[in-house]
C-alpha cells in the first residue's frame, strides 16, 4: 500500500505542477521576470521556472530521479514564496489561510517525495 501512496503523491504533485508550467509556456513568464527583477536578481533567473514547473514535474511523474527532482521543486517553491510573498508573508488570503498557502503546500509535498522516495511504481523505483 505504501508504494501506491507514493505513486498517488507523485502523480498529484507532478500533474498539478505541470499545469502551472504549461500555463507559463502558453502565456509567458512576464510576471515572474518582474518579480525577479524587483527582488534585485538578474532577469535570466526567471527562466528557471521552466525547469521547476515543466521539466521537474515530468521527472516526478515518471519516478525518474524523483528525489533529486523533488528537491529542485522545493527550491523552486521556496523562491516563489520569497519572490511573490516575501514582503507580505503573514498576510491572510480571502479565505483565511496564509496567502502563500499553495506554493507552501507544493514545497511540503515535494519534501515528502524526497523523504519517502518514488516507490516501486517508478522508472527507477526505490
**98: pLDDT strictly greater than 90:** no
Q: Residue range 23-46: average pLDDT?
A: 94
Contact at 8 Å (CB) between 106 and 13?
A: yes
The verdict on pTM exceeding 0.85 is: yes
Query: If you search the block for the grid coordinates 526567471, which residue do you land on?
Result: 46
DSSP letter (8 states) at residue 65:
S
Contact at 8 Å (CB) between 51 and 62?
A: no
Q: 87 falls in which pLDDT band (50, 70, 90)?
A: confident
Among 75-79, 98-102, 114-118, the minimum mean pLDDT is found in: 98-102
41-78: pLDDT as tens digits: 999 999 999 999 999 999 999 999 999 999 999 999 99
The b-or-e profile of 66-102 (16+ CB within 10 A means b, else e) is: bbebbbbbbebbebbbbbbbeeeeeeeeeeeeebbeb
Amino acid at each position: 500500500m505504501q508504494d501506491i501512496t507514493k505513486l498517488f503523491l507523485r502523480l498529484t504533485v507532478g500533474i498539478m505542477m505541470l499545469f502551472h508550467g504549461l500555463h507559463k509556456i502558453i502565456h509567458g513568464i512576464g510576471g515572474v521576470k518582474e518579480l525577479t527583477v524587483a527582488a534585485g536578481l538578474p532577469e535570466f533567473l526567471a527562466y528557471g521556472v521552466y525547469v521547476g514547473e515543466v521539466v521537474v514535474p515530468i521527472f516526478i511523474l515518471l519516478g525518474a530521479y524523483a528525489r533529486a527532482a523533488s528537491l529542485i521543486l522545493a527550491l523552486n517553491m521556496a523562491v516563489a514564496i520569497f519572490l511573490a510573498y516575501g514582503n507580505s508573508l503573514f498576510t491572510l488570503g480571502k479565505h483565511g489561510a496564509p496567502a502563500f498557502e499553495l506554493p507552501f503546500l507544493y514545497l511540503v509535498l515535494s519534501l515528502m517525495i524526497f523523504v519517502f522516495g518514488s516507490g516501486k511504481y517508478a522508472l527507477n523505483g526505490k
